[in-house]
Amino acid sequence: MRLLLLVLVLLVVGAGPAAAAASDPTDDYMRRYQSEHRLPGLAFAVVRGDEVVHSRTWGTDGDGDAVTADTPFLLGSVSKPFTALAVMQLVESGRVDLDAPVRTYLPEFPAGISVRQLLTHTSGLAQWALRTDRFGSDADELGRAVRELEPGHAPGEHEYSDANYLAAAAVVEAVTGRSFGDHLHTAVLDPLAMDHAVATTADAVSLPAGHRLYFGHPRRFDPAYDPSGVAYGYLGADLGDVTHFVTAQLRGGRYGSTQLLSPAGIALTQKGVADFGAGRYGLGWRESELDGDRIAWHAGATPGYFSHVVLVPGSDLGVVVLANAYSPTVDGELAAAAFDLARIAAGATPTGSDPDPLFAAATIAPLVVAFVLVVLLAWSLRPHRPRRRSVVRLIAWLLPCGALVAIAAWGFPAAMGVDLSQTRLWTPDIGLALVAVIVLAGALAVARVVRFGIPARPDNARPTADVLGG
């Protein structure tokens, strides 16, 4: 027995260094990341030049299948660097002038806006210049959307808006005579060997469902595909596809034997020119610094998916993170992973990101208000002795109820930069809580009016039964 114990101890001691050596800091970090954010499926890669030096796929997709290297994810706003590349190809071929008015190609477009201003978000188009996320839209939806556009202010100031890239896609369609998704396949996706790319409705049959977060817990979400949004957010790709794009960005526009864009053109897209507060926006890329190193990057999301690509040109490094769950309430925390993987690859310590207390408050506040309204409604509906009517007392009830309806329906979403329908789409937990506040506040107002309508009983009258009164 003693000999057996000694052997076991030696085995454990001997295995300890080996086990420690097998532990990978990148995998360890991403395991924690997936667990902390309850991400059902995750894919990530680290690229050095034209070599993928580290990649993993974990978890399941929205249809219950294992996430593999061939599983497509929607890229959200990481679609924008692809769109900018497609436009720049037309610029280098002489078919588009970056500084020409958009009206040169789209006669119905507002005057005074150049193609370059679309790509740098300095066109004057407001953040919510049009309704995006047009699920199930038809082939002409993009054209109709462009015809709706009106600038919110004069061009020059940076204001991030998906409408800019929707208009850029319309320019591509006008110049090439093809749908944007078809042209993107021919000019960008196919030369990059992006075999699982999703840029058309036909491609989307391979796209699994994603997940939205309800109070931190993922729930399956599978809307119809939005082909009108490919240019700004509804491009899809698997992990390997995106690494091919990263390679081309790090290699001056070359992938394999194909030169998609000149090195000068690639450098121009990654060069920030419009200040957005935390850096500068270029042609489809954000430029800033990470621990003193210049980076070009873009994160993106749709209701159900999150993605992030970070390039560190000076280190010939690229990082890709893809997840199949998203909520704006954890956007900063989700975005931290790609930055931290770049730090780990550089031998530095990851920093992570703390939860945003404002988003936590935005999630909890409507629930608290809804609970209070339930209590007040139950109190108002209880049987009791009728009291003398008081118009002042009724108004004191109705005014707060009306204010709560207005705040929940318009004020609260507007403070988040959206409307109620977008709140329900992107943050369904907050959206449901706001709808509950609207319904309960309305019900409470009705209950108080009903109470007011029941006549008061004389003080010397003896009731035969309890009734509602006001």
Q: Identify the CATH number of the domain in which residue 31 sits.
A: 3.40.710.10
Residue 9 lies in a domain: no
Residue 416 clears pLDDT 90, i.e. is over it: no
Q: Which of 107-116, 139-148, 186-195, 241-250 has the lowest mean pLDDT?
A: 139-148
pLDDT at 251 over 60: yes
State the average pLDDT over residues 365-374: 96
Identify whether residues 327 and 371 lie together within a single domain.
Answer: no
323 and 423 within one domain: no
Split at pLDDT 50, 70, 90, the class of 107 is very high
pLDDT value, residue 6: 42
pLDDT at 466 over 50: no
What is the model's pLDDT at position 465? 46
Q: How many residues does the chain have?
A: 470
Angle at 309 between CA 303 and CA 315, to 5 degrees: 170
Query: Based on the domain organization, do 73 and 206 belong to the same domain?
Result: yes
Is residue 256 located within the same domain as residue 108? yes
- Domain of residue 419, residue span: 357-453
Q: What percent of the chain has pLDDT over 70?
A: 90
Alpha-helix residue ranges (DSSP H) falling in 148-191: 162-176, 180-184
- Residue 456 has a pLDDT of 61
Average pLDDT over residues 454-466: 55
Name the pLDDT band for 74 (thresholds 50, 70, 90): very high
Cα–Cα distances in Å, from 176 out to 117, 227, 402? 20, 17, 53
List Cβ neighbours of 140 (8 Å cut-off, separation of 6 or more).
Answer: none
For residue 446, the model assigns a pLDDT of: 95
Mean confidence (pLDDT) of the chain: 90
Structural domain contains residue 469: no
Whether residue 150 is predicted with pLDDT greater than 90 in this model: the reply is no
Query: Are residue 315 and residue 361 in the same domain, yes or no?
Result: no
- Detail the DSSP E strand segments found in 315-375: 317-323
CA angle 275, 45, 347 (to 5 degrees): 75
- Does 67 share its domain with 163? yes
The reply to whether 336 and 414 lie within a common domain is no
- The predicted pLDDT at position 434 comes to 97
Q: Is residue 7 part of a domain?
A: no
Q: Are residues 293 and 423 in the same domain?
A: no
What's the pLDDT at 22? 56
Q: State which of 319, 345, 371 marks the end of a domain.
A: 345
Residue 295: the pLDDT is 98
Q: What number is the average pLDDT over the span 279-303?
A: 97
Q: pLDDT value at position 152?
A: 82
The answer to whether residue 462 sits within a structural domain is no
pLDDT digits (tens, 9 = 90+) for 28-41: 999 999 999 999 99
Q: For the chain, what is the domain count?
A: 2
> Of 323, 345, 367, which residue is a domain's last?
345
